[in-house]
């Protein structure tokens, strides 16, 4: 019997792995042959990739129904990260291919990043830095500098990362509220924060809005023109979840027109930014879809993905299956 093949697919525009795939090789050893291929889209899949027994795929590299149809005997597609909206999970299920993710890595990093963006906005770190580097002290952004203990931090989605963010915000002195229609009663008491029953009510109360929900049909453009209009003009928006949870055109227009005070976006719809005009949007911080990044989190993520891929080629039960394919 030929040696199983595990294909790692990285994104040409911004590769995240290393050419040697050192972490994956340490986990998988001699059990399977490992290859690494850079692709922009799944139109770039090579014949070698399509014959893989398991695939590890990095974020931003889409795997559509067309790409999945090319896979000849793949048992599992492992998304190197939490989100799996870049993979057509329905098409994979129809082919009997399990789609797995890594839901528990990087929780600390993303929560820390959300808080860092919130604090940068509330304390206007970026404009103050720019002013200081002009060799002057004309502080024109004083009206946006806020006292944390007077502000309400509104969270959408109280999962692992949302909870970690809530605890950090609470420790800093924010009043913390959340909206999550899928949590059972009592979740608010466990964390010691206030539950809000509708998104509209949360938006009306919020000074800092932080998004921590997955991207799906329900949450696509969850925050668009109508929702942004419900925020206070002094409110800040932070997104470390998925770009398309916020309608890009709507939030950029709101920033240009001064209808919200600022935004810190680690992720953005149709990323990266596409034009100089988008990049010049006032009161906008953008951080390259990097909230998950740390030396430690990437080791944890890649080790988990490799462990799942190893289980796939050994025909063992799979962890973190998200598309109901029996593992």
> Which pLDDT does position 327 carry in this prediction?
60
How is residue 14 written in tokens?
A: 């911004």
Estimate to the nearest angstrom the gap between the alpha carbon of 6 and the chain centroid. 25
What pLDDT score does 1 carry? 59
| Counts of helices then strands in the chain (DSSP H, E) | 13, 12
Phi and psi at residue 279, to the nearest 5°: -65, -25
User: Does 242 qualify as catalytic in the annotation?
Assistant: yes
Q: Among residues 109, 269, 271, 300, which one is catalytic? A: 271
Would you kindly state where each structural domain of the chain is located, as residue ranges? 5-105+295-313, 107-286
Q: Are 5-105+295-313 and 107-286 equal in CATH topology? A: yes
Q: Given 109, 289, 300, 302, which residue is catalytic?
A: 289
CA quadruple 284, 298, 80, 47: dihedral sign: positive
- Four-point Cα dihedral 238, 241, 246, 251, nearest 10: 30
Asked if 178 contacts 202 with a C-beta cutoff of 8 angstroms, the reply is yes
Q: At what angle do helices 125-132 and 107-122 cross, to 10 degrees?
A: 60
Fold designation for 5-105+295-313: Rossmann fold (3.40.50)
Q: Kindly compute the dihedral angle of the four CA atoms of residues 306, 311, 317, 320, in this order, to the nearest 10 degrees.
A: 10
Which secondary-structure segment (H or E) carries 225? Answer: helix 225-230
- First-to-last alpha carbon distance for the chain, in angstroms, is 22
pLDDT in tens, the chain (327 residues): 589 999 999 999 889 899 999 999 999 999 999 999 999 999 999 999 999 999 999 977 899 999 999 999 999 999 998 889 999 999 999 999 999 999 988 999 999 999 999 999 999 999 999 989 988 788 888 889 999 999 999 999 999 999 999 999 999 999 999 999 999 999 999 999 999 999 999 999 999 999 999 999 999 999 999 999 999 999 999 999 999 999 999 999 999 999 999 999 999 999 999 999 999 999 999 999 999 999 999 999 999 999 999 999 999 999 999 999 986
* Distance, C-alpha 321 to centroid of its chain: 18
Token output for 112: 């820390």
Q: Rounded to whole angstroms, how far apart are CA atoms 285 and 290?
A: 13
Query: Do 106 and 324 meet the contact criterion of CB atoms below 8 Å apart?
Result: no
> Of these residues, 59, 75, 113, 242, which one is catalytic?
242
Looking at domain 107-286, which CATH architecture does it have? 3-Layer(aba) Sandwich (3.40)
């Amino acid at each position: 019997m030929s040696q199983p093949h595990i294909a790692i697919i990285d994104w040409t525009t911004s590769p995240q792995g290393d050419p040697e795939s050192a972490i994956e090789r340490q986990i998988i050893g001699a059990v399977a042959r490992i290859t690494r291929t850079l692709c922009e889209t799944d139109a770039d899949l090579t014949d070698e990739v399509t014959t893989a027994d398991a695939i590890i795929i990095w974020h931003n590299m889409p795997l559509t129904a067309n790409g999945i149809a090319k896979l000849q005997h793949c048992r599992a597609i492992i998304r190197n990260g939490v989100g799996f909206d870049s993979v057509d999970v329905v098409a994979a299920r129809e082919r009997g291919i399990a789609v797995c993710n890594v839901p528990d890595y990087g929780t600390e990093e993303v929560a820390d990043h959300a808080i860092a963006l919130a604090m940068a906005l509330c304390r206007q770190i970026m404009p103050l830095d720019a002013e200081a580097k002009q060799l002057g002290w004309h502080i024109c952004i004083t009206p946006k500098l806020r006292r944390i203990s007077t502000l309400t931090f509104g969270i959408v989605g109280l999962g692992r990362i949302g909870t970690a963010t809530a605890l950090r915000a609470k420790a800093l002195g924010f009043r913390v509220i959340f909206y999550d229609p899928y949590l059972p009663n009592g979740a608010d008491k466990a964390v010691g924060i206030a539950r809000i029953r509708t998104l509209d009510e949360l938006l009306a109360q919020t000074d800092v809005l932080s998004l921590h929900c997955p991207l799906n049909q329900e949450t696509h453009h969850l925050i668009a023109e109508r929702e942004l209009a419900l925020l206070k003009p002094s409110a800040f928006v932070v997104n470390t979840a998925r770009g398309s949870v916020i309608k890009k055109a709507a939030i950029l227009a709101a920033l240009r027109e001064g209808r919200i005070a600022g935004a810190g976006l680690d992720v953005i719809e149709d990323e990266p930014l596409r034009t100089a005009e988008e990049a010049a949007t006032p009161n906008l911080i953008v951080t390259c879809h990097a909230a998950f990044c740390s030396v430690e989190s990437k080791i944890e993520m890649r080790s988990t993905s490799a462990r799942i891929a190893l289980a796939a080629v050994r025909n063992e039960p799979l962890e973190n299956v998200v598309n109901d394919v029996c593992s």
